[in-house]
Structure 1
Amino acid sequence: MTTPNELRLLPWSGPGDKPCYLSTDDPDGYMSRLADSIEAVQLDTAAKLVEEASEAFDNQDTSIDEMRCLVKELTGALRDILRVATSRGHLLATSDPREPAY
């Protein structure tokens, strides 16, 4: 079992938007792989939204309603990416510096 400072912050939140954590000895277990997969989707979604935002800013015909919708989506994506960055930062901080990080 992992110690409390080694808990993995998962890329989703629980009831009341509270963080969810994973405690496991198996970084290749089902929940770890699921979290890795969701993080990859979140990163890909954010990248696509950044591209969409760039195009919308360059397009003079983009409406205020379209921009509001885009800002809402970008805000959600940024929240997800911050959670991923925080989680990965904690994983790096608790990993053994003698082991290669992949």
Structure 2
Amino acid sequence: MMTPLRLLPWTTPEGKPCYLSTDSDQSRLSRLADDLEAAQLDSGEQVLAGSRAVLADTEAGEHAVRFALTRAVECLGDVLRIAVSRGARIGVGADVGEYDCGER
């Protein structure tokens, strides 16, 4: 059985998706991707907490709200990319070629 390509949590300089073909989830590149995904998820948790605080502040200005929303959108894109990548590796969900994780 052929191992599916892994959608990596980064893109090329042109914004195109990067994929990894390997038989081992313990390769250096696989571990690097795992570490980056963990960092992205951690960042997402922090941004979510910060965004909630901004939204709860009735005196937050437009700049603060726009900043929080911009960061939340970035993190949502990261999380969706991770979900697509992991879903493809366990054989669940959409084909990785069918989903556009958006531009960064």
TM-score range (shorter-chain normalised) is: 0.7 to 0.9
What are the ranges of 5 or more consecutive residues in structure 1 without an aligned counterpart?
95-102
Match of 1:9 in 2: 7
Higher helix share: 1
Distance in 1, Cα, partners of 2:87 & 2:49:
25
Matches within 5 A, 1:32-71: 32-71=30-69
User: Which residue is equivalent to 1:97?
Assistant: none
Determine what percentage of the aligned residue pairs are the same residue.
Answer: 37
Code of the aligned partner of 1:16 = E
Measure, in 2, the Cα distance between the counterparts of 1:59 and 1:74: 17
Deviations 1:21-54 (A, max 9, x none): 0011121010000000000000011111111111
Q: CA deviation at 1:16?
A: 2.1
Q: CA RMSD in A?
A: 1.6
Helix, strand or coil for the counterpart of 1:21? strand
C-alpha separation between the residues in 1 aligned to 2:55 and 2:68?
10
2:79 matches 1:81: yes
In structure 2, the partner of 1:92 is: 90
Question: What is the DSSP-based 3-state SS (H/G/I as helix, E as strand, rest coil) of the residue aligned with 1:9?
Answer: strand
Q: Which has the greater radius of gyration?
A: 1
| Relative contact order, higher structure (CA 8 A, sep 6+) | 1
Structure 1 residue matching 2:24: 3-state secondary structure: coil
**Alignment length (residue pairs):** 92
Alignment match, 2:102: none
Q: Once the two structures are superposed, what CA deviation does each residue of 1:51-81 show, in whole Å capped at 9, x if it has no partner? A: 1111111111211001111111111111111
Instruction: Give the secondary structure class of the aligned counterpart of 1:15.
Output: coil
TM-score of the two chains, using structure 1 as the length reference: 0.84
Q: Which runs of 5+ in 2 are unaligned?
A: 93-104
